[in-house]
Amino acid sequence: MERVASLTRDTSETKISLKVNLDGGGKSQVATGIPFFNHMLELMAKHGFFDLEVKSEGDLEVDFHHSIEDIGIILGEAVKKALATKKGIRRYGFASVPMDEALAQVAIDICNRPHLIYKLPVARGKIGSFDIELVKEFFQALSNAAGITVHINVPYGSNRHHIIEAVFKAFGRALGEAVTIDPRIVGVLSTKGIL
């Protein structure tokens, strides 16, 4: 069964089309109008081994917030749709990714219970014109829309770019692990019988 989803989101603030293939090879085509965010989404797909296409037009002259939050929403919805019944998936994913002095750790549970824990040594500041506060907004929106629990912890790191890049790589790897089909799993990995 092909685990692919294509969605669009059209609001007064953003116009987004997105396609995700959970069984891809890490290819991406991303155009959000926000170069740093493009790079983060590209490397997230690369390290998670899923294909991702994103085209977004938004009110960037106002702020990047609307675009980044809405991309998180539509990506979460697409992941949830592509997973369908969630049968056979590992459910849990964990990755610990270093980037120079920074270490990012991400744990995921695909459980239909959205929750985000987000702990970074730097919560504010900019990378070029990009507000790093928006990273939390992206993952909050994704977690809520996908119905997944996400724990993001960076125990140490000082360079903002290194910290954020390590987070996106770790999230990609953790998601890639969690959505992997395991032939040992009959139905879903839950004693309740549903996720």
Average pLDDT in the 20-44 region? 98
Is residue 8, in this structure, part of any structural domain at all? yes
* Predicted local distance difference test score (pLDDT) of residue 64: 96
pLDDT higher than 80, residue 148: yes
Average pLDDT in the 48-68 region? 96
pLDDT higher than 80, residue 1: no
Q: Reduce the secondary structure of 13-39 to three states and give it as a string.
A: CEEEEEEEECCCCCCEEEECCCHHHHH
Q: Which of helix, strand or coil describes residue 52?
A: strand
Average pLDDT in the 30-34 region? 97
Average pLDDT in the 147-166 region? 97
Q: CB-side exposure of 157: number of CA atoms within 13 Å?
A: 25
Is residue 23, in this structure, part of any structural domain at all? yes
Average pLDDT in the 67-91 region? 97
Mean pLDDT of the residues in the chain: 96
Give the pTM: 0.97
Tally of structural domains, the chain: 1
Is residue 183, in this structure, part of any structural domain at all? no
Is residue 186, in this structure, part of any structural domain at all? no
Is residue 189, in this structure, part of any structural domain at all? no
* Predicted local distance difference test score (pLDDT) of residue 123: 79
Percent of the chain at pLDDT exceeding 70: 100
* Predicted local distance difference test score (pLDDT) of residue 186: 93
Q: What is the pLDDT of residues 125-142, one digit of tens each?
A: 999 999 999 999 999 999
pLDDT higher than 90, residue 193: no
* Predicted local distance difference test score (pLDDT) of residue 135: 98
Q: State how far the Cα of 158 lies from the Cα of 102, in Å rounded to an integer.
A: 7
Number of H helices, E strands in the chain: 4, 10
Strands 130-131 and 126-127, bridge-based pairing: antiparallel
Average pLDDT in the 93-101 region? 98
50: domain range?
4-178
Average pLDDT in the 40-50 region? 98
* Phi, psi of 77, deg, nearest 5: -65, -40
* Predicted local distance difference test score (pLDDT) of residue 41: 98
| Cβ atoms 84, 2 nearer than 8 A | no
Is residue 185, in this structure, part of any structural domain at all? no
pLDDT higher than 80, residue 31: yes
Is residue 155, in this structure, part of any structural domain at all? yes
Domain containing residue 132: CATH number = 3.30.230.40
Taking the CA atoms of residue 151, residue 152, residue 153 and residue 156 in that order, the dihedral angle to the nearest 10 degrees is 170
Is residue 194, in this structure, part of any structural domain at all? no
